Amino acid sequence: MEKKNRAFCATAAIVAGILILAVMEWLGHRRIPFMMDDLWYATNLATDRPLQGLGDVMESQVWHFLNWGGRCVTHGILQLTLMCGELGADMLNMIATLVLGWMVCVTVGWRKPFCFLCASSLIVALNANVKMSMFWQAGTVNYVYSTVWILAFLWPYLRQTEEPEADDLPLVNLWIWPLGLMAGWSNENMGPASLVTALAAVGYLVKGKKRRLKAWMAGGPAACLLGSILVVAAPGNFVRAQAVEKLPLGAFLYERLFSMLRAGADYLFPAALLLAAVLLFWTVCLKERLRPAQWMLLALAVLSYGAMVLSPHYPDRATFGTMVACIALSLSVLKGILAKRRDMEIYAGGMALCYWAYAVYVLAVVQQNG
């Protein structure tokens, strides 16, 4: 009976923590109005007139593809959310934020309230720029929304890697194609990184586990490749690049290297520190090895970070997808640690409490400062 009471109290505390965090996030969404790029994307980009319907969104994204850049999927969805008004957009954003936390749990195969609390707290606590990546409308769609469908795309491949003999997911041959296209067409670093991760999983299954290559295994990466080509090779990228000041080769290489080091040593440092801590405990203290799916999550993080060397600008909010990959791998390893060492539960709970408290503090600061 005492054990059941402790479990009930722990579950109640976790649910209360999730609710408090959700309320704080909702207040944050309500605090930040449409601003900056939102005001431009609220118009038909081709005519500079307010959006009137789906036709204006389609016309805008054709213009965007030819004159500005290749992120037509995310920016098209952004325009649709802007037409919903601030309240409607905030409701959609809140749903996307909750789904993202759940998709992290699904990706690591740990569908428990504790994992959801950890994922939701870490996404805020380890975030390099919470306001611009989660509450600014353009940032929310570009990073929160896109990370949701990227994880949804990778989930079947990581799941099959963990359980090679498991049955295919229902109707996977139908929905993996649009998800693959959306994942590749999301942004310039996470799209190609997702493609390589999916290909690595397929190669492991076919070559390592002698699994028969199925339609969804080949179709998803093919669609992701197409999306990656469209986002990177869009004519608008070259039009916009002409307006960027051309630097001498030495200055160009220095700027790229500096931006990468700053992103790693500043923006991603908290996520990398947590990941390093759990990896060291898993490999050094427990003498365990990473499973193939965990190696693939690590590759996703490293590739999405490294791909930004090709970008002339590496803003803090662009590390969002890489941060989520680090969080997913950290929780995957933590799940294994707790399975091996039940006595570590108290320390894991303390860690979760600290990150949750800091996440609540960060959200309070966002609401205070706007």
pLDDT at 137: 95
| Tokens representing residue 336 in the block | 């294994």
User: Which residues 6+ apart lie within 8 Å of 122 measured at CB?
Assistant: 271, 274, 327, 330, 331, 355, 359
Q: What is the pLDDT of residue 256?
A: 74
Is the pTM above the cut of 0.85?
A: yes
Q: What SS3 class is residue 104? A: helix
Which pair of structure tokens corresponds to residue 251?
């200055």
Per-residue pLDDT of the chain (370 residues; tens, 9 = 90+): 667 788 788 889 999 999 999 999 999 999 999 999 999 999 999 999 999 999 999 999 999 999 988 889 999 999 999 999 999 999 999 999 999 999 999 999 999 999 999 999 999 999 999 999 999 999 999 999 999 999 999 999 999 999 888 888 999 999 999 999 999 998 888 989 999 999 999 999 999 888 889 999 999 999 999 999 999 888 888 777 666 656 676 776 767 777 777 777 789 999 999 999 999 999 999 999 999 999 999 999 999 988 776 666 678 888 999 999 999 999 999 999 999 998 898 999 999 999 999 999 999 999 888 7
Q: Which residues of 71-107 are buried (b: 16+ CB within 10 A; e: fewer)?
A: bbbbbbbbbebbbeebeebbebbbebbbbbbbbbbbb
